[in-house]
Amino acid sequence: MSERSKVPTAKILDAQGNELMAVRKIEQDGSTLVIRGKIFGAMPMVARLTPAEARAALKLLDFRTILFLLSLPFRK
């Protein structure tokens, strides 16, 4: 088994269960969050989340969704 296949990934799926993106790495670059992965299993992608965009995303969440997000890692 190659070393590359051992890299943990988080998959983002569409409504039909098809893979949209495989996230391979999340890291900090200054005050920006950098997300590295592949879209549709083939196209490499680097996404950057700035502090302003993170604040805008947090405004989209209500209290119930925040509680759900906190409990998500502990669900089966």
Distance of CA 52 to the CA centre of its chain: 18
Residue where the block lists tokens 């196209």: 43
Per-residue pLDDT of the chain (76 residues; tens, 9 = 90+): 455 567 889 999 999 999 999 999 999 999 999 999 999 988 999 999 999 999 999 999 999 999 999 999 999 8
Residue 12: the pLDDT is 93
Q: With contact defined as beta carbons under 8 Å apart, do 34 and 46 qualify?
A: yes
How many Å apart are CA 26 and CA 10, to the nearest integer? 10
Eight-state DSSP code of residue 1: -
